[in-house]
Amino acid sequence: MADPRIEKLADILVNYSVGVKEGERILVTGSYLARPLLEQVVKKVAQAGAEPVTKIGMDSVGYMFLKYGSEEMLQREDAVYLSLVKSCDALISISAPENTKGLSELDSQRLSWRQKATMSVSEYVMGGNVRWVGCNFPVPALAQEAEMSLEDYEEFVYSATNIDWVENSRYQDKVKNLFDGGKEVHIIGPGTDLTFSIAGRPGIKCDGHYNMPDGEIFYAPVENSANGYITYDFPAIRMGKEVSDVYLEFKDGKVVKASASKNEDFLISSLDTDEGARFIGEFGIGVNYGIQRFTKDILFDEKIGGTIHLALGRAYPESGGTNVSAIHWDMIKDLRKDGKILLDGKMIAENGKFLTD
């Protein structure tokens, strides 16, 4: 008998997040370790009268290609997968890693080559051409990374995902109304004094239709507007590499100084991926107060209630941003202690709480 929590999550992904319709073709991807959830998702897709197309993988297979593939092959566009995505109406992607540090020893240049090669897929999906949702399945590697037992981590995951998303969406409306129509955002906190403009940029609610769990509102800062500095409290993680104590200094939108106490070389090489990598593509506001602890998993961490995150690199077109890059790297700032957000000089949040009433 299937775990009822898994079945409920599958129902949310299929019938709420992407809203599968009869006659559609739905691409379901994930690691073989996510078999229980993959099975329930396929079941729900079939029950909705749609055709499930599955792409099940293993992390170790991808690792072999990244390690031994030639430069030419790593830089070749992933045309086969792009064609598959284009043939489907919606994408449900389930992550269940075997080893969260599996790519940490690979040359960062090889990882950058491959990320650029798959950029066309990301642009197609993020460009609104296909409905999509991403979700994690609780596996030992993620539980270990979060420093939890598997049983506790399962409860953490399902408590964050299996909620009333309609009610969460209503709360997001209140927070979004604080920012809409504003211009200058001012972030103040330990090691942080940063301003940027969101003038003319629409806010986007994230209420369970793209990521699961969800719970954020994001804007695209005006590309040349960021000035000041920010110090990140939590490690910034990308491609399995953990970068600690990240400090970024901005001038006219661009990172002009960067440092870290761990993996600083990786931070700098990522910033040098392309011209857009040194500009902010996203300003995100975490409003899922059911998530209160950092787990080294951006899918959860960027939603922590009382935090904000700034993503270096690619902007989402629907938010009005124009920055283009092969990277989109979210970094989280904790504002729950001695943190403030001002909009056009008026305080709208203090110590992680928004002044919505």
| Pairwise CA distance, residues 285 & 306, whole Å | 8
Higher pLDDT, 100 or 9: 9
Instruction: For residue 51, give every residue at least 6 positions away whose Cβ sits within 8 Å of its Cβ, in sequence order, or none.
Output: 24, 25, 26, 45
Q: How many CB atoms lie within 10 A of CB 351?
A: 12
Residue 68: pLDDT band with limits 50, 70, 90: confident
State whether the Cα torsion 339-343-344-345 is positive or negative. negative
Is the pLDDT score of 50 beyond 80? Answer: yes
Instruction: Please give the pLDDT value at position 357.
Output: 54
CA distances from 106 to 103, 190, 299 (A): 5, 34, 23
**What pLDDT, on a 0 to 100 scale, did the predictor assign at position 310?**
97
Coil, strand, or helix at residue 104? coil
Burial class (CB in 10 A: 0-12, 13-18, 19+), 183: middle
What does the pLDDT look like over 95-150, one tens digit per residue?
999 888 777 778 778 888 888 888 888 888 877 889 999 999 999 999 998 899 99
Average pLDDT, the chain: 92
Please tell me which residue, 286 or 106, carries the higher pLDDT value: 286
- pLDDT tens per residue, range 135-194: 999 999 999 988 999 999 999 999 999 988 988 899 999 999 999 989 999 999 999 999
Percent share of the chain, pLDDT over 90: 71
| pLDDT of 58 | 87
pLDDT at 145: 86
Average pLDDT of span 66-81: 84
pLDDT at 17: 94
Domain range list for the chain? 4-161, 166-354
In the DSSP assignment, the letter for residue 288 is: B
Identify which of 271, 222, 224, 283 has the alpha carbon closest to the alpha carbon of residue 246.
271
Residue 172: phi and psi, rounded to 5, are -60, -35
What does the pLDDT average to over 292-320?
Answer: 91
Residue 245 CA to residue 264 CA, distance in Å, equals 9
Helices (H), the chain: 4-11, 35-47, 59-68, 71-74, 79-86, 108-117, 119-124, 140-145, 150-161, 165-179, 264-271, 298-301
- Does the pLDDT at position 70 exceed 60? yes
**Residue 239 confidence (pLDDT):** 82
pLDDT of residue 90: 94
Q: Which of 34, 56, 40, 45 is nearest to 6 (CA)?
A: 40
pLDDT at 76: 85
Distances (CA, A) of 94 to 151, 257, 351, 356: 19, 36, 33, 34
What contacts 273, CB < 8 A, 6 or more positions away?
112, 115, 116, 313, 325, 326, 327
208-264 pLDDT per residue, tens? 988 899 999 999 999 999 999 999 989 999 987 899 999 999 999 999 999 999 999
The answer on pLDDT for 317 being more than 80 is: yes
DSSP codes of every residue in 15-52: IIIS---TT-EEEEEEEGGGHHHHHHHHHHHHHTT-EE
Residue 297: its pLDDT value, please?
Answer: 84
| Short-list 28, 160, 6, CA closest to 89 | 28
3-state secondary structure of 107: coil
- Put residue 336 in one of left, alpha, beta given phi > 0 → left and psi -120 to 50 → alpha: alpha
CATH number of 4-161: 3.40.1830.10
Q: pLDDT value at position 1?
A: 67
Measured at the CA of 66, the angle between CA 63 and CA 67, to 5 degrees, comes to 85
By the 8 A CB rule, do 347 and 355 touch?
Answer: yes
Angle at 65 between CA 62 and CA 71, to 5 degrees: 135
Cα distances from 19 to residues 14, 103, 144, 168, in angstroms, run 6, 34, 33, 18
